[in-house]
């Protein structure tokens, strides 16, 4: 459930006389900015059926041997960082999460979608204990999977309390391919990007972004700036970075047969 930001008077308004025109205007602006931190109609929002609390236990030390023991016990070595610059952080807490739970989430959501969703992470004193040491809202920053089995080997989380900004690779979902004029002509879809990085408020992290192909003809493309996203999101990459393109049309079997029939006529005309 989305929690809205507290409605305390912003510092920029504390020196304004209450009910003055300046205060009224500033309050209206602040309310407009705050309202952007709601999921808006027409934009994707996280599906509540995938909401799940990830259970974790403290890990006293790190290292190759410790990690191997954790994996053998059915746990994934993990780290929870404090948000600092959207990429790295301090206030590091070493934990381990349950392998089966992480594998299930990655399988159900998909790799990219797992990394674009907030979770409640509940750190308990030990497996099966009711004693909660810390409960934090966090974003999976990275996950390393085994190359052969896809078993999770380690996971990194970033704390995501309300009011923080996070760099998130949002997955792209392509729609309208069934009515695209270019694809109907036999052209091929050249997918250049499958995720796009945005700076997102912790309150608004879309599970995906829809890319509409319904109007694209042969030779046309969409760039990052064409994506329709929530106004609170800020594109990090250049706006002209290509996302998808309708490549040149393929020659159909019927056209190939016609070309074969026309070939002798061309050769005779040369003679």
Residue 158 makes CB contacts below 8 A (sequence gap 6+) with 80, 81, 83, 89, 138, 139, 141, 166
The reply to whether 82 and 129 lie within a common domain is: yes
Do 185 and 146 lie in one domain? The reply is: no
C-alpha 240/C-alpha 245 separation (Å) is 13
* Residue where a domain stops, chosen among 139, 161, 183: 161
Residue whose entry in the numeric block shows the structure tokens 């002509």 = 185
Higher pLDDT, 178 or 4: 178
How does pLDDT run across 191-242, given as a tens digit for each residue?
A: 999 999 999 999 999 999 999 999 999 999 999 999 999 999 999 999 999 9
Reported confidence tier of residue 1, pLDDT bands at 50, 70, 90? very low
Assess if residue 179 is contained within a domain: yes
Q: Is residue 29 part of a domain?
A: no
pLDDT score, position 118: 96
Mean pLDDT value across residues 119-134:
91
251's tokens: 């020659």
pLDDT attached to residue 6? 41
Q: Is the pLDDT of residue 29 over 60?
A: no
Judge whether 126 lies within some domain: yes
Same domain? For 193 and 232 the reply is: yes
pLDDT at 61: 81
Same domain, 98 and 84: yes
Higher pLDDT, 22 or 72: 72
* Residue that is last in its domain, among 120, 135, 161: 161
Does residue 70 surpass a pLDDT of 60?
yes
DSSP E strands in the chain: the ranges are: 53-58, 75-81, 93-98, 119-124, 132-145, 152-159, 165-175, 187-191, 195-201, 209-212, 221-223, 234-235, 242-249
CATH of the domain at 245: 2.170.120.20
Check residue 271 and give its pLDDT: 52
Question: Are residue 172 and residue 146 in the same domain, yes or no?
Answer: no
pLDDT digits over 135-180, tens only?
999 999 999 999 999 999 999 999 999 989 999 999 999 999 999 9
- In tens, the pLDDT along 71-124 reads 999 999 999 988 655 455 567 899 999 999 999 999 999 999 999 999 999 999
Give the domain-ending residue among 109, 134, 161: 161
Looking at the structure, tell me whether residues 169 and 156 fall in a common domain: no
Least confident segment among 19-28, 81-90, 245-254: 19-28
For 98, the token pair is 């349950």
Residue-level pLDDT at 262: 57
Domain identity same for 193 and 220: yes
Query: Residue 82 has what pLDDT?
Result: 81
Asked whether residue 209 falls in the same domain as residue 240, the answer is: yes
For residues 61-77, b (16+ Cβ closer than 10 Å) or e, as one string?
Answer: eeeeeebeebbeeebbb
Clarify whether residues 94 and 180 are in a common domain: no
Same domain, 62 and 151: yes
Q: Do β-strands 234-235 and 195-201 pair in parallel, antiparallel, or remain unpaired?
A: antiparallel
The boundaries of the domain holding residue 135 are: 46-161
pLDDT: is 15 or 148 the higher one?
148
| Contact between residue 102 and residue 53 where contact means Cβ atoms under 8 Å apart | no
Question: Is the domain of 143 the same as that of 57?
Answer: yes
Tell me how many domains the chain contains: 2
- Cβ neighbors of 245 (< 8 A, separation 6 or more) are 190, 192, 219, 220, 221, 222
Q: 124: domain CATH number?
A: 2.40.240.10
Residues 194 and 226 in one domain: yes
Indicate if the pLDDT at residue 36 is higher than 60: no
């Amino acid at each position: 459930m989305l929690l809205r930001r507290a409605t305390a008077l912003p510092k920029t308004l504390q020196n304004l006389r209450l009910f003055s025109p300046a205060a009224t205007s500033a309050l209206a602006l602040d309310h407009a900015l705050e309202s952007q931190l709601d999921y808006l109609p027409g934009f994707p929002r996280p599906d509540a059926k995938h909401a799940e609390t990830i259970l974790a236990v403290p890990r006293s030390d790190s290292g190759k041997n410790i990690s191997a023991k954790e994996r053998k016990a059915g746990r994934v070595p993990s780290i929870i960082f404090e948000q600092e610059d959207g990429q790295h952080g301090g206030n590091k807490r070493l934990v381990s999460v349950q392998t089966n739970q992480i594998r299930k989430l990655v399988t159900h959501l998909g790799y990219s979608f797992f990394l674009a969703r907030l979770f409640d992470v509940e750190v308990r004193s030990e497996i099966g204990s009711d004693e909660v040491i810390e409960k934090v809202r966090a974003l999976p920053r990275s996950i390393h999977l085994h190359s052969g089995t896809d078993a999770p080997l380690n996971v990194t989380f970033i704390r995501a309390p309300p009011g923080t900004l996070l760099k998130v690779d949002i997955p792209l979902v392509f729609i309208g391919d069934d009515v695209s004029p270019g694809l109907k002509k036999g052209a091929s879809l050249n997918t250049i990007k499958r995720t796009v990085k945005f700076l997102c408020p912790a309150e608004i992290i879309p599970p995906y972004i829809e890319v509409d192909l319904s109007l694209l003809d042969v030779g046309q493309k969409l760039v990052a700036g064409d994506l329709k996203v929530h106004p609170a999101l800020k594109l990090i990459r250049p706006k002209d970075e290509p996302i998808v393109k309708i490549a040149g049309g393929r020659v159909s079997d019927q056209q190939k047969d016609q070309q074969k029939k026309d070939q002798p006529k061309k050769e005779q005309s040369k003679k």
